Structure 1
Amino acid sequence: MSAPHAPLWASAFRPFFLLGALYAPLLAAAGVAAWGAGVTLPAHWHAHEMLFGFATAIVVGVLLTALPSWAGTAELHGAPLATLAALWLAGRVAFWASPWLPAALVAAADLALPLLLAAWLAPPLWRVRRRVWRAVLPIVLALAAANAAFHAAAGDAALAQRALRAALWVLVLLFTLGGGLLTPVFTGNALRAAGRGAPAATSWPLEAAALAALLALAGADVAGVAGAPAAGLALAALVLQGWRVARWRGWRALDAPLVAGLHAGFAWLLAAFALKALADAGLLPRAWPDALWVHAFTVGALGQVMLSLMTRVALRHTGRALQPPRALAWTGWAVAAATLARLAAAVLGDASWPGAALLLWSAAFAGWAAVTGRWLIAPSLPRGGVPRR
């Protein structure tokens, strides 16, 4: 079987989930090794690679798998998919080798994937019947723009930090929009299967208000707005997102593991908004860093939802029943423990806690890859096939 026609290249979730899940422990190992050897890594190295390396891989895998099913676009597979995966790898190699390469070459390699992805998505998204799906394109371009701004910072630490913060807010936006589409649907399926009713019907005025509040909060944060105005925006985002999440009635489906993981992720999102509101209002102890909310979102919300979605997609699209293997049951708890450890590290100022958090979090994704990796590189089971534990 020739390489472009191997099962790995049959659907985007296969290579990109595997790359992302394996990159998480690699980043952890590199960080721990550098710390142990007394080596100082380049500024913003960890943040950049978590956003534009790890998270981008999972986002691409989800988008390119979901759009054919939900928006009706053609599925990318074979050589074009392998090209996108190669560009992701090229970006990572270039960034790791950035001390020895021209800055323009590193930027070009790092930006090639999102720009080519946007170019591929633009024509089919423009033709879809439901125009809401066109929102994917500006989100991908916004992520690319934030990365371009990071590279353009050229040693300006403040500008680089602002670019990374902009990229973080793009992920928050994608999280709330994508998760807000999928979570109530999957929750409704679980509730109806158990005879427990269904989520409340979508309230489009509420969706619009929640989106507007989020965009206002993101814009203010990237612009450096702080104090009472920022606290008010964070509180508005918290209330509107909390109202939105409550309408999904997820507490009735917590015995469905794949659904519980999604709601755990949104719980961490709400915690992140609450922490930001308290920090901007000056209501947190002075010793506590203002960026606590960032850890709640990146470690907790993203980690929980990514693991849940990755597992659901891998099961469904390889012909397996939507019942996660017992071997993965610990991964969600590991992410929760990692989030608490990361928050404790920021509060207590203990240098050992960040390492523990990083190891727990990366172990969850390494464990996911160990269990599901064989599914991703093998042909899908026939319809009705029995999943292997």
Structure 2
Amino acid sequence: MTITADGSTSPGQRTPLYRVLGDEGFRIFFPLAALHLALWPVLWTLVNGNDLPLARTMPAGLWHAQEMLIGSFGAALIGFMTTAVPEWTDTIRLQQGRLFVLAAVWGGARLVGLLGADLLTPLAALLDAVWLGVLVVYLLGLSWRKRTTRLLGFAGWIAAMLLAMLAMRYAFWRSDIALAQMMARIITLVWCGVLGLALARITVPVTNHVLDPSLQTTPYRPHPGRLNLGPGLAAVAIAGELAGLSPAVSGFLWIAAGAAFMDRVSEAFIGREMWRAEIMALSGASAMTGAGLMMVGASRLGLPLAESTGVHVVTMGGLGLGIMSVFSIAGLMHTGQNLPIGRMAKAALLLVIIGLLLRIAPDLDWFMPPGRAHELSSVVWAAAFLLWLKAYAPAISDRSTIGAVAC
């Protein structure tokens, strides 16, 4: 078959799979992100025993943090930006060669992270700087062309991620563990800013779709004060980290940012439809992010709790649920299907939560999962994203879904 200008198919030459995957950002980067999220932690815990073959000076835990924050979540970010932004701005999307070049650049840095190759840190920094810089330029260029300020928030947060990533790579190169740890915390807060903006853009149309599947009305209207409160207070918390404020003061800033995300959860109270998986997952992402941020703040105020526990609630819970929600919802809408999400996607969302609980259970003295440290958690976490991939790979790779968008 061949693809016509309007996205329909006609008899003729069979479209190669790579042409299908290169048609839109989500088709290549969502599966890449899912595979990286699933396989890299398993390789670290089950194969390498929480060690890395070429790491010499930096702890494996920091390599793990960097690869999750910049690597796994980064692929999801590329897929989301290159898919959603053209839809928001009614512009031609990036396709084919440009997407594959971005994928190759992203993937090159991930190989360095898989090995923990300290000596290749400058190369990895350059590769990550390229794809992050491309996203910033892409967003700023569209903002200028369309005379809109709606993309500037994302551009600003991704630019902040670029700077923080370079600082973290510099810390790796200089074997500065304290600086690397601070940059990991800052990148986590940057991701909270990105997540807050993304949820503000995603939650409204999804909620309206749930309330009125015909899309004839828009009964849901978000409170305007909540749209940027979470990202704004995350920025204040970042400023506190950079200023070197005392643990108590910075702890209150983390708690304030967490409270802003918890406040967003109230937007899910839309009647009995709130129990729909789509609504629960999006509000759960806000709830987990808020809870994790407040746990970090409480730890700094003296609660006998490791900061890393709160950070994992933010990353595995908040970002994990948020990313899985985007994968599941956008994966339907951009392949011509409609809500609700299917059973396998719902199971994947549940596995994300179970994986998080298994990860933090020893920290909270709930119980000790069997096996070596974090093995079971990594396996369950991997199962979540592999299950999503199994459910969505047929539609993503289906040539007949090119150009299909659900109504």
Provide TM-score, normalisation by structure 2: 0.84
Q: Are 1:243 and 2:263 an aligned pair?
A: yes
Q: 1:20 aligns with which of 7, 28, 33?
A: 33
Paired letter, 1:231: G
* More off after superposition, 296-305 vs 231-240: 231-240
CA distance in 1, matches of 2:18, 2:351: 36
Q: Which structure 1 segments of 5+ residues have no match?
A: none
Pair 1:47 & 2:44 matched: no
Alpha-carbon distance, 1:209 to partner: 4.6
Please say which of residues 27-36 and 169-178 is displaced more in the overlay: 27-36
- Residue 337 of structure 1: how far off its partner (Å): 1.1
Matched, 1:63 2:81: yes
- Choose from 108, 111, 114 the match for 2:126: 108
The range that moved more, 325-334 or 14-23, is 325-334
Taking only aligned residues, the RMSD between alpha carbons, in angstroms, comes to 3.0
One-letter code aligned to 2:240: A
Cα deviation code 1:110-168 (max 9, x no counterpart):
32221233233331222224312122222222111111111211211111112222211
Paired with 1:213 and 1:176, the residues of 2 have a C-alpha distance of 10
Pick the aligned partner of 2:251 from 205, 216, 231: 231
Q: Contact between 1:338 and 1:357, CA under 8 Å: does it hold in 2?
A: yes
Work out the CA distance in 2 between the residues paired with 1:144 and 1:224: 21
**Uncovered stretches (5+) of structure 2, i.e. residues with no partner:** 1-13
For residues 3-51 of structure 1, the C-alpha deviation after alignment (integer angstroms, 9 at most, x for no partner) is 6961000000010001010112221221123444976773212111101
Specify the code of the residue in structure 2 equivalent to 1:107: A
Q: 2:390 aligns with which of 370, 376, 381?
A: 370
Q: State the alpha-carbon separation in 2 of the partners of residues 209 and 136 from structure 1.
A: 15
- Equivalent pair of 2:349/2:384 in contact (CA under 8 Å): yes
Equivalent position SS for 2:24: coil
- 1:92, 1:110 within 8 Å by CA — same for their partners in 2? no
The corresponding residue for 1:324 is 341
Aligned length: 382
**Which of residues 232, 237, 253 is equivalent to 2:273?**
253
Residues of 1 paired with 2:240 and 2:390: CA distance? 41
Matching residue within 171, 175, 191 for 2:191: 171
Distance, in Å, in 2 between the alignment partners of 1:135 and 1:216 is 15
CA deviations on 1:216-274 (whole Å, 9 max, x unpaired) are: 12322354434432333233333433334314425643332222211111121221133
Aligned runs of 1:264-283 on 2, under 5 Å? 264-282=284-302
Deviation (angstroms), 1:336: 1.1
CA distance in 1, matches of 2:38, 2:319: 16
Give the AA of the match of 2:23: A
Secondary structure of the residue aligned to 1:347 is: coil
Aligned to 2:42: 29
CA–CA distance in structure 2, aligned partners of residues 112 and 135 of structure 1: 20
Are residues 121 and 197 of structure 1, via their aligned partners in 2, closer, same or farther at CA, if it must alter by over 3 Å? closer
2:145: which partner in 1?
Answer: 127
Counterpart pick for 2:323 among 292, 296, 306: 306
The CA distance in 1 between the partners of 2:269 and 2:114, in whole Å, is 44
Q: 1:14 touches 1:377 (CA, 8 Å); kept in 2?
A: yes
| Residues 190/229 of structure 1: CA separation in 2 closer, same or farther (3 Å cut) | same
Cα 1:198–1:222 shift into 2, 3 Å: farther
Aligned twin of 1:94: 112
Percent identity for Structure 1 against Structure 2 = 24
Q: Which residue of 1 aligns with 2:180?
A: 160
- Conservation of the 8 A alpha-carbon contact between 1:4 and 1:78: no
The 3 A distance-change label for structure 1 pair 335 and 226 is farther
- Cα deviation, residue 289, structure 1: 0.8
Measured at CA, do residues 337 and 96 of structure 1 come closer, stay the same or move farther in structure 2, by a change above 3 Å? closer
Deviation at 1:190, TM superposition (A): 1.2
Structure 1, 18-27 or 101-110: larger mean CA deviation: 101-110
Q: Which residue of 2 aligns with 1:144?
A: 162
1:83 corresponds to which residue? 101
Three-state SS of the structure 1 residue aligned to 2:150 is helix
Alignment of 1:118 with 2:144, yes or no, is no
Give the SS at the match of 1:136: helix
